[in-house]
Chains A and B, each alone.
Chain A
Amino acid sequence: MDKKYFPFAIILASFSLLSGCTDMSSTSVRDKVLVYCSEASPQSFNPQLVTSGPTFDASSRQIYNRLVEFEPGGTQLKQSLATHWEISGDGKEYTFYLRKDVTFQTTDQFVPTRHFNADDVLFSFQRQWKKNHPYHRVSPLQFRYFGAMGLNELILNIEKLDIYKVKFTLKNPDAPFLATLAMDFASILSAEYAAHLIRTGQPQLIDNKPVGTGPFQLVRYQPDAFIRYKPHPTYWKGKEKLEGLVFAITPDPSLRFARLIAGECDIMAKPLPIQIDAASQYPGLITLSEAGSNVSFLAMNTTKKPFDQHKVRLAMNYAINKSSILKIVYGGTAEEAINPIPPLIWSYDNKTEPVPYSSLIAKQLLIEAGYPDGFKMDLWAMPVQRTYNPNAIKMAELIQHDLEKVGIKVSIISYEFGTFLEKIKSGEHQAALLGWIGDNGDPDNYFSSTLSCAAARSGNNGAFWCDEKFDSLIQQAGEKSDIDVRTELYLKAQRRFNQQKPWVPIAHARQFILLNKKVNNLQLVPTDGMYFSGVTLSAAEAETPLPGVE
């Protein structure tokens, strides 16, 4: 060979070296590992400490169990670590009978010597409840959810009646209490592990190296890269069929989608509307969707003019064209809201008809209210994408356009999200586009948090609407435990709401997920979370590659 061509030979050789290793033959291992492209890193592996969805997905929903849990795919309660329970006649005492022979996970740090019992329940709640508990101050993060649910005041006592029996005593009857115990922050941690960590002088590990009773246990975690789980071999419901579960942390939605198409992920979290459309081109992909437990609404500050007038609020309801909002902002992936709760929540009022879009009626109402020429108003819209509202600014612009037709001049106001929420809480707005995601499937979670007088005082009631009649209805309902009685009260409350119109209810957004056809048994839950227990992968068929883009 002429030496002149030597450089070429090197280039050729290096290229062939690079392309030489493209033949992959590791599908046998891949077939039993489920890869989920998640949207963010968890803040901690302890669900008691945080309020963010990605943390719950990574911790409570795979690693831990609770005393009671929601039915898969729903908000009905079912037994879990508690096999059954008794509620005293006055609704203040809850006695739980605990499941026997439940094992905790064995990890590098810890080998459990006993099964789950009442001590673990006591530890998990007392850590959050008692300020002087040795584990109360271990983490700089606080127990916000516990406080936000009002449990610090509500719980009078938690006692261990015997090794498999625990009694909670409440200050006053609280019907949603059972549903509260099914929430992520009420996960059961191991008291024995906690004691072990105190002895070895590393109590902080309890939040980073979790030990639970759940279907999967943590193997390895690299922040912003991946979380790896393996099945809990002695899980009380039986070992999972998957050999591994990996969360591929991919904050960029386009990259998540690319990974899904390339088969690196089996499931993709939070697709954009455009990707849901694109996914239909790929026969290997499935779109799952589920009505979300959320509501998006325009709250009118009822303490400020002109929204203190009922007729003006009613006029606003007529003046806004909700169907164009549903089409443009949600891309047809949401349903119109009529009540403050979504239809999947029990006690939803089916009888109320939606307010039709009519500028004429709105104009008439404004004349009756004494605003024949309309008025000027501020409309606050948040700058970020939320589950219940993918684009609040766009929504505000559409509303601005609609209201102009009836003579109302709207100026849109937006702040950085944190500041936005603070200012809304202090009531600086005239009207604002807000929303709520229900966490526990109980209607109380919606009514008390967003429309009660207490919420008007705390600022979470964006309409600052404190209606005595409505408030007493939801308070009564909260204290009763009979579901029929409660349903009746909540129906009355919704009618009162619809008569008074403190909001323009806008939409209940659906939630979406994209997944590979080989994933079986995955169920979405309305409270917006991922549970991988029971999910399987069908093998072999997955060999056929996904077709490329034309």
Chain B
Amino acid sequence: MLTNISRLLINVFSSFFVLTLFTFGLTHFFPDGSSFIYDPSLSTSLFPDVSLTMHQQELGLLEAYINYVTHILSGNFGFSSVRGTPIMDDFVIYFPATIELAAAALLIALVVGLPLGIYAAQHKDKWQDKLIMSGSLIGYSMPIFWWAMLLVLFFSIILGITPVASRIGFEFDIEPITGFMLLDTLLSEKHYALDAFKSALHHLILPAFVLGTVPLAVIARSTRSTMTDVLNADYIRSAKSRGISASKILWKYALRNASIPLLTAMGLQISILLTGSLITETIFSWPGIGKWLLEAVYRRDFAVIHGGILAIASFIIIIHLVLDIFRSFVDPKLRRKQ
């Protein structure tokens, strides 16, 4: 177990090393990208520490790199070259919005995708299976921006049952405490806190469904394929022959064994959700990381683009570490390796 975790940690450190080396190289060898913004006089004075130390040419390469990594590890990702505020300050505001959306999307994908996949596996090659699989193929290959607009047009504009955009109705003034709107509305002491919570939930549905569409399709498909494999395995057949009930076979023997490859697939989906939130957030005017980065691109705010990407990449590395550790607990093969 311990060797397992230490091996994972080495993995994490090496990927972090490669990542920082890459971003450091970018900023070091193409110094001060901020000079590309319209007014160069804005940029220089706005880089108090990180970028300055990065750009100090007299520092040795190694020294400059160590300096850079120290700053990043202490949570200092630099300053916006347009607004002059620390990037980390912005990141902690926008990040919870993305996590909230991604978590809701993943929940929808799991709650809908998993049963669909199981059902399709149970009815392999029958019409139910074909229906679900072709549906998921459509979901998987659908351009998200088009799908989102279609849903907004139908549900928000024609039917008027879901909001068009943003996280909550503008009438509610919610103090950001955790940054997660659903939690903040419940923590709020305003008289309309419950209405605000409903409004936040209501605003979450459509963007979460849009963002969850691709993962839903992926989860349904991979559940079906792993479940079909497992259902054809010898131990399932022998379980059947012993007269164990079909539902017990399905939920206890089959699903558990199918969950390991599923967990890997889900891990990949989390990265896709975080990075893929860019389109969904822009369409729904959802103030998260994706929209923040896109706006930074429009403004040529290279410091934010650089810092934001670094922060997201670091987060994804951490997520994968956690998932790997989690998997090593679930998978008996990994558990007993020592």
- A residues adjacent to B (C-beta < 8 A): 3-4, 6-8, 10-11, 14, 18-19, 21-22, 24-26, 29-30, 33, 35, 41, 43, 140-142, 204, 219-220, 222-226, 228, 244, 246, 248-250, 252, 255, 258-259, 261-262, 264, 418, 545-546, 548-549
Contact indicator A258/B115 (Cβ below 8 Å) = no
Q: How large is the interface on B (under 10, 10 to 19, 20 to 34, 35 or more residues)?
A: 35 or more
Complex formed: what's the CA distance from A6 to B111 in Å? 12
Complex formed: what's the CA distance from A24 to B198 in Å? 8
Known contacts A14-B111, A225-B287; is-contact A262 B157 (Cβ 8 Å)? yes
Contact indicator B38/A22 (Cβ below 8 Å) = no
Is B152 at the interface (CB under 8 A from chain A)?
Answer: yes
Is B125 at the interface (CB under 8 A from chain A)?
Answer: no
Is B156 at the interface (CB under 8 A from chain A)?
Answer: yes
Distance (Å) between the CB of B1 and the closest chain A CB?
A: 34
Complex formed: what's the CA distance from A496 to B283 in Å? 52
Is B202 at the interface (CB under 8 A from chain A)?
Answer: yes
Complex formed: what's the CA distance from A250 to B84 in Å? 23
Q: Which of A140, A204, A418, A548 has the most CB of B within 10 A?
A: A140
Distance (Å) between the CB of A236 and the closest chain B CB?
A: 25
- Within 8 Å by CB of B163, from A33, A35, A228, A264, lies A264
Number of A-B contacts (CB under 8 A): 135
Is B285 at the interface (CB under 8 A from chain A)?
Answer: yes
Known contacts A3-B247, A30-B171, A142-B41; is-contact A11 B116 (Cβ 8 Å)? yes
Contact indicator B112/A14 (Cβ below 8 Å) = yes
Contact indicator B165/A250 (Cβ below 8 Å) = yes
Contact indicator B287/A22 (Cβ below 8 Å) = no
Query: What is the predominant secondary structure among interface residues of chain A facing chain B?
Result: mixed
Contact indicator A8/B163 (Cβ below 8 Å) = no
Complex formed: what's the CA distance from A418 to B93 in Å? 32
Contact indicator A21/B118 (Cβ below 8 Å) = no
**Complex contacts, B158 vs chain A, CB 8 Å:** 548-549
**Chain B stretch 198-239: residues in CB contact (< 8 A) with chain A:** 198-199, 201-202, 205, 209
Complex formed: what's the CA distance from A41 to B83 in Å? 11
Query: A-facing mask of B247-260, CB < 8 A → 1, else 0?
Result: 10010000000000
Distance (Å) between the CB of B205 and the closest chain A CB?
A: 6
- Within 8 Å by CB of B295, from A19, A224, A546, lies A224
Distance (Å) between the CB of A381 and the closest chain B CB?
A: 20
Known contacts A222-B93, A548-B157; is-contact A7 B199 (Cβ 8 Å)? no
Query: A-facing mask of B107-136, CB < 8 A → 1, else 0?
Result: 010011001101100100000000000000
Contact indicator A262/B160 (Cβ below 8 Å) = yes
**Complex contacts, A25 vs chain B, CB 8 Å:** 195
- Within 8 Å by CB of B164, from A22, A255, A548, lies A255
Contact indicator B118/A7 (Cβ below 8 Å) = yes
| Smallest CB gap from B194: residue in A | A26
Distance (Å) between the CB of A209 and the closest chain B CB?
A: 12
Contact indicator A26/B159 (Cβ below 8 Å) = no
Complex formed: what's the CA distance from A546 to B291 in Å? 29
Q: Which of B162, B171, B172 has the most CB of A within 10 A?
A: B171
Distance (Å) between the CB of B187 and the closest chain A CB?
A: 16
Contact indicator B152/A258 (Cβ below 8 Å) = yes
| Smallest CB gap from A15: residue in B | B112
Q: Which of A7, A33, A35, A43 has the most CB of B within 10 A?
A: A7
- Within 8 Å by CB of B115, from A10, A222, A223, lies A10
**Complex contacts, A248 vs chain B, CB 8 Å:** 166, 170, 285
* Sampled A-B contacts (5; CB under 8 Å): A4-B247, A21-B198, A246-B171, A264-B164, A549-B158
Contact indicator A259/B202 (Cβ below 8 Å) = no
Contact indicator A7/B287 (Cβ below 8 Å) = no
Contact indicator B172/A225 (Cβ below 8 Å) = no
**Chain B stretch 263-305: residues in CB contact (< 8 A) with chain A:** 282-283, 285, 287, 291-292, 295
Contact indicator A259/B41 (Cβ below 8 Å) = no
Contact indicator A29/B112 (Cβ below 8 Å) = no
**Complex contacts, A18 vs chain B, CB 8 Å:** 108, 205, 209
Contact indicator B192/A26 (Cβ below 8 Å) = yes
**Complex contacts, B198 vs chain A, CB 8 Å:** 21, 24, 26
Contact indicator A220/B173 (Cβ below 8 Å) = yes
Contact indicator B157/A258 (Cβ below 8 Å) = yes
Contact indicator A262/B164 (Cβ below 8 Å) = yes
Complex formed: what's the CA distance from A259 to B283 in Å? 12
Complex formed: what's the CA distance from A418 to B37 in Å? 11
| Smallest CB gap from B107: residue in A | A14
- Within 8 Å by CB of B195, from A29, A142, A222, A246, lies A29
Complex formed: what's the CA distance from A34 to B165 in Å? 17
Is B45 at the interface (CB under 8 A from chain A)?
Answer: yes
Contact indicator A26/B161 (Cβ below 8 Å) = no
Contact indicator A30/B160 (Cβ below 8 Å) = no
Complex formed: what's the CA distance from A228 to B192 in Å? 17
| Smallest CB gap from B123: residue in A | A4
**Complex contacts, B46 vs chain A, CB 8 Å:** 140
| Smallest CB gap from B284: residue in A | A255
Query: A-facing mask of B148-181, CB < 8 A → 1, else 0?
Result: 0000100011111111111101111100000000
Contact indicator A259/B164 (Cβ below 8 Å) = yes
Contact indicator B157/A264 (Cβ below 8 Å) = no
Complex formed: what's the CA distance from A418 to B39 in Å? 10
Complex formed: what's the CA distance from A220 to B184 in Å? 15
Given A220-B173, A549-B158, output 20 extra A-B contacts at Cβ < 8 Å.
Answer: A4-B247, A11-B112, A14-B108, A18-B209, A21-B201, A22-B162, A24-B199, A26-B195, A33-B170, A43-B82, A140-B45, A225-B287, A228-B173, A244-B171, A244-B173, A248-B285, A250-B285, A252-B282, A255-B285, A264-B169
Contact indicator B115/A7 (Cβ below 8 Å) = yes
Distance (Å) between the CB of A539 and the closest chain B CB?
A: 13
**Complex contacts, B166 vs chain A, CB 8 Å:** 225-226, 248, 264
- Within 8 Å by CB of B170, from A8, A35, A252, lies A35
Across chains A and B, which 9 residue pairs bring their CB atoms closest together, nearest first? A7-B115, A3-B247, A225-B287, A30-B171, A246-B170, A26-B195, A29-B171, A33-B171, A7-B119
Distance (Å) between the CB of B293 and the closest chain A CB?
A: 11
- Within 8 Å by CB of B160, from A3, A8, A548, lies A548
Distance (Å) between the CB of B303 and the closest chain A CB?
A: 13
Query: A-facing mask of B51-72, CB < 8 A → 1, else 0?
Result: 0000000000000000000000
**Complex contacts, B100 vs chain A, CB 8 Å:** none
- Within 8 Å by CB of B202, from A4, A24, A226, lies A24
Distance (Å) between the CB of A351 and the closest chain B CB?
A: 43
Complex formed: what's the CA distance from A26 to B250 in Å? 45
Known contacts A26-B169, A30-B169; is-contact A224 B164 (Cβ 8 Å)? no
Distance (Å) between the CB of B15 and the closest chain A CB?
A: 30
Complex formed: what's the CA distance from A10 to B122 in Å? 16
| Smallest CB gap from A222: residue in B | B287
Is B90 at the interface (CB under 8 A from chain A)?
Answer: yes
Q: Which of A14, A26, A249, A549 has the most CB of B within 10 A?
A: A26
**Complex contacts, B157 vs chain A, CB 8 Å:** 258, 261-262, 548-549
Contact indicator B159/A548 (Cβ below 8 Å) = yes
Query: A-facing mask of B186-200, CB < 8 A → 1, else 0?
Result: 000000100110110
Distance (Å) between the CB of A141 and the closest chain B CB?
A: 7
Distance (Å) between the CB of B190 and the closest chain A CB?
A: 9
Complex formed: what's the CA distance from A21 to B200 in Å? 10
Contact indicator A26/B163 (Cβ below 8 Å) = no
Is B244 at the interface (CB under 8 A from chain A)?
Answer: no
**Complex contacts, B202 vs chain A, CB 8 Å:** 21-22, 24
**Complex contacts, B285 vs chain A, CB 8 Å:** 225, 248-250, 252, 255
Complex formed: what's the CA distance from A204 to B46 in Å? 12
Contact indicator A8/B199 (Cβ below 8 Å) = no
Contact indicator B172/A29 (Cβ below 8 Å) = yes
Is B42 at the interface (CB under 8 A from chain A)?
Answer: yes
**Complex contacts, B83 vs chain A, CB 8 Å:** 43, 223
